[in-house]
Amino acid sequence: MFRSFYWLAILLAVLLTGMQPDLAHLACRRIANRESARRVRQKRQDALCVMQDRLEGARQRVEALAAQLQQSEAQQAALMQQASRMRGQLMAVQAENAALVTTQAGDASSSDPQVPATPPQARSPPKVALALLPSWRLTSAGDIAASATSFTASSMAIS
């Protein structure tokens, strides 16, 4: 289709201006080349705009991910600090427990020399502590009250 317009433009240039056909052909080629170059530049500019938009989107995604990473690192630091604090508390409770076990073993051996003191690992855990285990998963005040009554009932039965 372009070819037919091209020859039509040459014919019009020859008829209207009285140009020689070779010069009209060259003039039409210049015009066609100029239009082709304009289309190529426009296409390149459009591709550049698309790439700039993609780059801006990628930059925003990188910024969002960096903020999320920073937040996660802060959260991890807080959790590590909490874990360290809880480890310290656990060690303190274990030391207190060991002191109580030693005290109980000393009391048991001094009161009845015939009964050998059992090491702490061989002893079974206290039954009161076992009764408290289900109460860790309580969710409402009614559950807490029910657990408190079952705890008092179970601790009374142990005694």
Are 55 and 100 in a shared domain? Answer: yes
Reference 29, options 12, 10, 15; nearest CA is: 10
Residue 13: count other Cβ atoms within 10 Å of its Cβ: 19
pLDDT in tens, 2-51: 566 666 677 677 766 776 767 777 777 888 898 899 999 999 999 999 99
pLDDT at residue 104, as a whole number = 85
pLDDT-above-90 percentage for the chain: 41
Those residues with Cβ within 8 angstroms of residue 150's Cβ, 6 or more apart along the chain or in another chain: 131
Ordered DSSP codes for 30-47:
HHHHHHHHHHHHHHHHHH
Are 82 and 126 in a shared domain? Answer: no
CB 50 within 8 A of CB 64: no
Are 18 and 63 in a shared domain? Answer: yes
Are 102 and 142 in a shared domain? Answer: no
As a whole number, mean pLDDT of residues 114-132 equals: 52
Average pLDDT over all residues of the chain: 75
CB 56 within 8 A of CB 30: no
Q: Indicate whether 157 pLDDT > 50.
A: no
Q: What is the pTM of this model?
A: 0.43
Are 90 and 152 in a shared domain? Answer: no
pLDDT in tens, 19-29: 676 777 777 78
pLDDT in tens, 134-148: 444 444 444 554 554
Reference 134, options 122, 124, 149; nearest CA is: 149
Range of the domain at 89: 1-108
In a domain? residue 62: yes
Number of domains in the chain: 2
Are 1 and 31 in a shared domain? Answer: yes
More confidently predicted of 123 and 65: 65
pLDDT at residue 73, as a whole number = 97
pLDDT in tens, 87-112: 999 999 999 999 998 888 877 666 55
